[in-house]
Structures are given as structure tokens and as C-alpha cells.
Amino acid sequence: MKSIDKILEEFLQEQHNRLKDKTYRDYESVIDLFRDYLNMYAPNSLHEDDRKRWEAEFDEDEDCYTRMFGPDYLDESDFEEFLDYFMIRKVASSESFMKVAVRVMKKLNKWLFENKYFDQDDYVDAQEYFGEANDLPDVEKLADLIFDYSRMTMDTPFEDKLEGYFTVVDIKPGQLWVKDAFDGGKTIGPVQVSKQISDLCNEGWDINFAIGLYQEKWYIVESGNVYR
């Protein structure tokens, strides 16, 4: 069985033959990040025997996972964790690069199936995920908008401050209502935002930010990532 490394190199070589240089470089960048993700996080899901084999190699080669294991160790969950977790939390991808990453992963899934590295169930599972992943670029765009908006908040003697991860529970033009993402509790709001932010945001998304209370309204003081 070919290793994941060799499979990814085959995929890139085939794309190199058909793509313009700039587009190919985008593909190469995404696949390099996907390989990094696999070597860092995929070992967490290994069964005991495979994990022992991996641990024996890891001290000599921290990137040994993609060299040791084949495409039968890939599935839809790797695409999901790569895009929804790694690209957002570890790479802090831009909106435009997230669009590229989703497109490349879709192409990789199709290529794996066409070249018989994925069976039909694997392919269909991944396709279903990609159908839900179309809003990932919006998540990155929203994070950028909230960051820019937070920088416009005036230096104010806030009556209270909160910081952490919050789930959006209600949206009105220019306003959000949120709850603590971990323990729920009371609804907090309205959080003042731009209409562009409220139009793009979705209920159920999580936002990492700090907010300050002034005259019964909350204002964004600092911001981090957005997660769907």
C-alpha cells in the first residue's frame, strides 16, 4: 500500500500538469498544511497497535505518520477537522485562502475516489461534509470584520467586562445576543455590531471575544476567532 505522502505527491503532480503556476502553488500550500495537520493530529485516532508503531518512529521523525500509513487511514473526519479546526485555530486562514482550501480538499476527495484510494462511502461522506462547508469562508470573513470593528470601539469606562467563547443565540440588524459557549447561562446583549456583521453571522456560531458593558449595551473590545 502506498503511503499518504506518496498519494499526496501523486495528486500534486497531476495538478501541476494541468494548472497554471499560481493556482498550483495554492494547491501545494494547502496540501502541505494538510500533511502538517495529519502528522500533528491524526495519530490521536490510531488504535493501540498502530499507535505503538507510530510512537516508535516519532522520536526519529515527527512527520512519520504520513510516511507510515496509507490512504485507508484517511476519511471524511480528516477533511472536517483540517478545515473546521486546523485552518481556523492554527493557521488563522484568511477568507480567500479558506475558499482555496475548501476547493482543494474537494478536488482531493474526488481524485482519491477516481483513483480508487477512497471507496464510494468515503467519497459520499466527504461530499456531504463539503456541502455543509461552503460557509467556512464566511466564518473567516466574519472574524476579520469583528476584529476591524473592535478597533473602532472607543476607550470607555465600562461598567462590566466579559471575555471568552460565546454562542450567538439571536441576531437583529446591528446587534447580537450571546450566551457563554460552555455553561450557557443568561443571554447577554445586545452586543453592538455593524449591519455587515449581523447580516453575515448565524445563530449557533461561536465567537471568541471580549465585550464591555456601557449604558445597557455591550461593545466589542477585543476579538479572536469565529467557529461554526
What's the pLDDT tens digit per position in 173-185? 999 999 999 988 8
Residue 164 is which amino acid? G
pLDDT of residue 228: 83
Q: Tell me the C-alpha distance between 219 and 228, whole Å.
A: 22
pLDDT of residue 148: 94
Q: Other CB atoms closer than 10 Å to residue 216's CB: what's the count?
A: 7
Continuous H helices in the chain: 4-16, 21-41, 48-58, 65-68, 76-81, 95-114, 120-132, 136-150, 195-200
pLDDT of residue 141: 92
Residue spans of the chain under pLDDT 70:
none
CA 104: distance to chain centroid?
Answer: 14
State whether residue 165 is helix, strand or coil: strand
Q: Tell me the C-alpha distance between 120 and 133, whole Å.
A: 20
pLDDT of residue 93: 75
The answer to whether 136 and 100 have CB atoms below 8 angstroms apart is no
Domain segments of the chain: what residues? 4-140, 151-227
CATH code of the region 151-227: 2.40.50
Q: Tell me the C-alpha distance between 60 and 62, whole Å.
A: 7
pLDDT of residue 2: 93
pLDDT of residue 71: 94
